[in-house]
Every structure is written in C-alpha cells, then in structure tokens.
Amino acid sequence: MSPIVASQLATGLGVLAGAVLVKSVLEKPMASQWPRCSSCNGTGRVTCMCTRWSDGDVGCRTCSGSGRMGCSSCGGTGTGRPIPGQLSVRRSNGPS
C-alpha cells in the first residue's frame, strides 16, 4: 500500500470515528437540572406572532422570516427555570 493511500485511509477512518462520536452525543438526551419548557417543548423557539395575521407570507423583524421566535417562557434555553422567591417562616408562640 502506498503512503498516499494509507494516509487517505487513516483520514477517512478519523472522519468516520468523529461522525460516530458526534452522532452518539446528539442522540443522548441532554441531562439538565431543570425540566423541559412546556411552552416550546425544549426547543427554545415558538411560532412567531406574525404568522397569526399573515395571509400566506411569513416574516417580520422578530423572526427574520423564519416564522419562529425565541420562547418568552424559558428565554430561549428550552428548559424550565425556577421562579426566584424567598419564603419566610416564623415560629408561632402559641399558648403554653
């Protein structure tokens, strides 16, 4: 086998191994500490408002003609976010 063929074979196998690795990473569900957003189902994008009043054409400045805009519930992250809040609990001094 000539050195050129061996080099091409090694390059091809490297590309194939990289593709398999990327595919396996993309197929695994992403582990997140928060659940998927219920508004966008984890995509981070929702149907743009301009499609509601459209007569067949789609596009506005918000969606750049794609018909999809960032989800306002999750901020485009696709995950649910907890609402920050503070809970104060007082101990009651009942009758003794």
Interatomic CA distance for residues 22 and 16, integer angstroms: 10
Least reliable range by pLDDT among 14-18, 28-32, 60-64, 67-71: 28-32
Taking the C-alpha atoms of residue 38 and residue 76, their distance in angstroms, rounded to an integer, is 12
Q: Do the beta carbons of residue 74 and residue 41 sit within 8 Å?
A: no
pLDDT in tens, 46-87: 988 887 776 667 778 888 888 889 998 888 888 876 667 787
Residue 44's CB is within 10 A of a number of other CB atoms, namely 18
- C-alpha–C-alpha distance, residues 43 and 31, integer Å: 15
Question: Which tokens hold the place of 88?
Answer: 């104060």
